[in-house]
Amino acid sequence: MAAGAVVRATCIERSAMALFTRDALNPGVKPREVWGWALYDFANSGYTTVVLTAVFSAYFVAGVAGKAEWATLAWTLALSLSYGIVMLTMPAIGAYADRHASKKRLLVISTLSCVICTAGLALVPQFSGTAKVAVALGLIVLSNVFYSYGESLIAAFLPELAKGDAMGRVSGWGWCLGYVGGMLALGLSLGYVLWAQGQGIKADQFVPVTMLITASVYGLAACFTFAWLGERAVPNPRAVGRGGLADAFAQLRDTFHRARSFPDFMWLMACALFYQGGVAVAITLAAIYAEQVIGFQPTETMVLIFVLNIAAAVGAMTFGHWQDRIGHKLALGLTLICWVLTCLIAAWSTSKDQFWWAAAIAGVSMGASQSAGRAMAGLFAPPKQTAEFFALWTFSTRLASIFGPLSYGLITWVTGGNQRIAILSTSVLFIVGLALLMPVDMQRGREAALRETV
């Protein structure tokens, strides 16, 4: 057993070295650690792909809420509530993680909690009426909160692993592997759904199985992260055992007070506030738009999202390497222009073939924009405050995830269900994000981060 473990570890090292040269990683970092870090993206992407995008979102609108006029708004309100909870709590959790060197321990807790809540979604069809709606929305809120905690905590490891001029490719590799994980969970779910429909099984019976598949992939894949990724941060002895989260909030307030020392990070947060709002619309409402407006069937929607993930993986990997060469700011700007084009095509699409073009562009843009934004945040984060600064980054992106989908839901409700107007209005978010990206100075932001001491 021990010899086999050594062989497997050696294979991992060699495979990783094919992707990462030593000059891309910080001193002492082993390629296997980067694999462990990237595999968390592989693990958790199934949650967003299957639960939020392809399966449960559409099932909630059509099956749980019975296509009621308030269904889309209720879905976006539930997600907004979860993001609001994350906004209020994640910055303090990030500060606490930095001061106590507990990123990994908190990552394990948040992951287990999300896996349990995701598996719990399988119980929704057993309820009826108002209880069915309440249980579905309650579990969505809880699972998305814990998912968001994990996403922020894993991102905080990036500056510890990769050098500044290689964060783009390492971040892109993580996102690429993440979309592969999303495709695995969705592919397994799609295979089961096609078989179930062939057997005459209805959605109330096959949706629970897809939730269990997603939870299983998440939990099993995350085990590799816990085994290979180490905690490199060093705790602050003066903080341990004294003050707890209250002490973390004090550090957080101090960070905001010193925000003027990090103008480029603040501009990036403002930029993310808008463009991530548009990305959140694509993630949480793509299946609803495809089925309710374009006329996709559930299995067609799953195939659509599967292909979208392929495009996103290509975008993350390609742009991840490209942005290190042309610059993160330019790479992100180009993806925002592509997002605007996506919204315009989607709004004017009258056939499935036309909508496929919008989905393809959205896939590439999603992978590229997510990778570029995370890499830029990593460059602007002071080395000793990575969890705290990525928590601030999460604060911005989760605020975006509130008003992006919520504005979409409100516009749909006000216009009597006109989702074309709603998706067209989403393009404004990307345009504003592009404008706020202009003042960002990459060199100045990086120098400010490296000057900071705790």
Report the distance separating Cα 29 and Cα 149, nearest Å: 24
DSSP secondary-structure letter at 162?
A: B
At 84-132, the pLDDT tens digits run 888 878 878 887 888 888 999 999 999 999 999 999 999 999 999 999 9
Do 377 and 389 meet the contact criterion of CB atoms below 8 Å apart? yes
Tell me the C-alpha to C-alpha distance, in Å, between residue 451 and each of 24, 199, 354, 447, 448.
21, 63, 50, 6, 5
Our CA dihedral for 213, 214, 215, 216, rounded to 10 degrees, sits at 50
Q: How many domains does the chain have?
A: 1
Whole-number pLDDT of residue 82: 93
pLDDT tens track for 262-280: 899 999 999 999 999 999 8
Q: What is the DSSP letter of 25?
A: B
Strand partners for 162: 25
Please report whether residue 440 resides in a domain: yes
What's the domain range around 220? 27-231+241-451
In a domain, 178, yes or no: yes
Tell me what pLDDT residue 175 has. 73
Whether 22 maps to a domain, the answer reads no
So what's the pLDDT on residue 297? 85
For the purposes of burial, counting CB atoms within 10 Å of the CB of 278, is it exposed (0-12), middle (13-18) or buried (19 or more)? buried
The pLDDT of residue 21: 54
Q: Are 317 and 172 in contact (CB under 8 A)?
A: yes
**Look-up: residue for tokens 């321990």?**
105
So what's the pLDDT on residue 453? 54
User: For residue 320, what pLDDT is reported?
Assistant: 64
Structural domain includes residue 249: yes
Q: Structure pTM?
A: 0.77
Q: What is the DSSP string of 298-362?
A: HHHHHHHHHHHHHHHHHHHHHHHHHHHHH-HHHHHHHHHHHHHHHHHHHHH--SHHHHHHHHHHH
* Site of tokens 């040269």: 21
For every one of its 454 residues, what pLDDT tens digit does the chain have, with 9 covering 90 and above? 334 433 333 444 444 444 555 567 778 888 889 899 999 999 999 999 899 888 898 899 888 998 887 888 899 889 889 988 888 788 788 878 888 889 999 999 999 999 999 999 999 999 999 999 999 999 999 999 999 999 989 988 988 888 877 777 777 777 778 888 988 998 999 899 889 888 888 878 889 999 999 999 999 999 999 999 988 877 755 444 445 556 556 655 766 676 667 899 999 999 999 999 999 888 777 878 888 889 888 788 888 888 887 887 777 777 666 777 778 899 899 999 999 999 999 999 989 989 999 988 988 888 788 778 888 888 888 887 777 788 788 888 888 888 888 888 888 888 887 889 999 999 999 999 999 999 999 999 988 888 865 4
Query: Residues 346, 427: contact at Cβ < 8 Å?
Result: no
Q: What is the pLDDT of residue 18?
A: 44
What CATH number does the domain containing 61 carry? 1.20.1250.20
Is 216 contained in some domain? yes
Strands (E), 371-442: none
Which amino acid is located at 177 in the chain?
Answer: L
Give domain status of residue 21, yes or no. no
Q: Per-residue b/e over 285-298, b at no fewer than 16 CB within 10 Å?
A: bbbbbbbbbbebeb
CB atoms within 10 A of CB 2: 6
| Residue (of 283, 276, 331) closest to 75 by Cα position | 283
DSSP string, 5-44: HHHHHHHHHHHHHTT--GGGB-TT--HHHHHHHHHHHHHH
CA distance 368 to 166: 15
* Domain membership flag for residue 399: yes
pLDDT at 239: 45
Whether 405 is covered by a domain: the verdict is yes
Six-digit token string for 400:
């975006």
Instruction: Tell me what pLDDT residue 260 has.
Output: 67
